[in-house]
Each structure stands twice: as structure tokens, then as C-alpha cells.
Amino acid sequence: MLRRKVRKNILLRKRRKVAIRNKISGTKERPRMSVYRSLNQIYVQAIDDDKGVTLCAFSSLSPDYKEKVKKDMKPVEKAQLVGELFAQLCLKKKIKQVSFDRNGFKYHGRVKALAEGARKAGLEF
């Protein structure tokens, strides 16, 4: 019973992902900001879909993140920090505007916090 429910949730996420990807594509001027959320980590990258190239990437495993994270931070706060640091990295590479791709995940919790952190640091969606 539980496996069936998990399988259904994964199938629904993949369906949402395909629907979103059909609407969003990234260019060099406005890359696609793709977010992936696992149980423990969160990953984000700016992708130029015209060339099929990742312009910059950041995750909760990056050394810059590990220097700034505090042990008593909650997962949502950590995701917001990842968003802020990713935005700083993008701004260094002269990327100011992105198209947000939540990758089938609901815009809630850590995904929402990452997006708000990136906006707060200066990225435009």
C-alpha cells in the first residue's frame, strides 16, 4: 500500500515536471533556474537550453555553503541560504534574470525558500 502511494507521488511529480518543462526554456540572457530537492540536500543550477550548457550551479554540498551554514538552522533556512549564495554566484557571472523551474516540486517549503532567497539577493524571475 505504501509503495503504491510513493510510486503514485513520483509519477505525479514527473507529470508536473514535463508540463512545466514544456512551458519554460532557458537562453543565455535568461537561463532556466532548475531546482532539485532530495530528502537531505537541495541543488540549483542555471541552464542555457539553447546550447544545453549549465552556466552555474550551487548546492547544499558546496564548500561556500558549508562555511556559512550554522548547525541550529532549520531546513527551510538552509534552503534560503542556498538561494542567496546561488544568486550571488549568478550575479558574479552577470546573470540577472532567470526563469524559475521548480522541476515538478510544489512551490512550498524548501523550494519556495530557495526562490525567495534568490530574489532577496537580487535575481529577477
- What CATH number does the domain containing 87 carry? 3.30.420.100
User: Confidence class of residue 117 from pLDDT cuts 50, 70 and 90?
Assistant: very high
Tell which residue, 31, 40, 39, has the closest CA to residue 87.
31
Residue 125 lies in a domain: no
The C-alpha atoms of residue 83 and residue 42 are separated, in whole angstroms, by 10
Residue 74 lies in a domain: yes
Residue 84 has a pLDDT of 98
The domain of 104 spans 2-120
Residue 34 lies in a domain: yes
The total domain count for the chain is: 1
Residue 27 has a pLDDT of 87
CB neighbours (10 Å) of residue 117?
A: 23
Residue 6 lies in a domain: yes
Nine-digit cell string for 5: 502511494
Q: Are 101 and 32 in contact (CB under 8 A)?
A: yes
Tell me the whole-structure pTM to 2 decimals.
0.90
The C-alpha atoms of residue 57 and residue 59 are separated, in whole angstroms, by 7
Residue 60 lies in a domain: yes
Residue 7 lies in a domain: yes
pLDDT in tens, 59-89: 999 999 999 999 999 999 999 999 999 999 9
Residue 41 lies in a domain: yes
Q: Is the pLDDT of residue 116 over 90?
A: yes
Residue 108 lies in a domain: yes
Count CA atoms within 13 Å of residue 37 on its CB side. 25
Tell which residue, 61, 73, 124, has the closest CA to residue 95.
124
**What secondary structure letter does DSSP report for 108?**
S
